[in-house]
Amino acid sequence: RKEVEQDPGPFNVPEGATVAFNCTYSNSASQSFFWYRQDCRKEPKLLMSVYSSGNEDGRFTAQLNRASQYISLLIRDSKLSDSATYLCVVIPPSSKVTFGIGTKLQVIP
């Protein structure tokens, strides 16, 4: 089993739709989780950290489910500018940062 798994997509959604991505991780002792956004041929940029209690930033909501070992990202009211690849990041006890393969989102007019 891979340390971090994501569905690579692509997810093609219409503008205004709600879309959710999941990311599963194998090491139950992992402590830190993040979502990054990467535009085509650009560097990754932090979208949000993921806390046990869940957190929200505008149209974006991140949640952690420790029992099932996954994190999720929910995007409401999708915009064309949300089109990008969304990378989940898990930091296990070894502190070796592990990125998922990324999920590609394409928001369609």
Partner 1 sequence: DAGVTQSPTHLIKTRGQQVTLRCSPKSGHDTVSWYQQALGQGPQFIFQYYEEEERQRGNFPDRFSGHQFPNYSSELNVNALLLGDSALYLCASSGDRGFQETQYFGPGTRLLVL
Chain residues in the site for partner 1 (CB under 8 A): 4, 6, 8, 32, 34, 42-46, 49, 87, 91, 94-102
Instruction: Select 11 or 34, whichever has its Cβ closest to partner 1.
Output: 34
CA neighbor of 29 nearest in space, from 66, 63, 2 = 66
**Phi, psi at 81, each rounded to 5°:** -70, -10
At closest approach, how far in Å is the CB of 55 from partner 1?
Answer: 14
At closest approach, how far in Å is the CB of 54 from partner 1?
Answer: 19
At closest approach, how far in Å is the CB of 76 from partner 1?
Answer: 24
d(CA 52, CA 19): 21
Give the tokens for residue 93.
């006890």
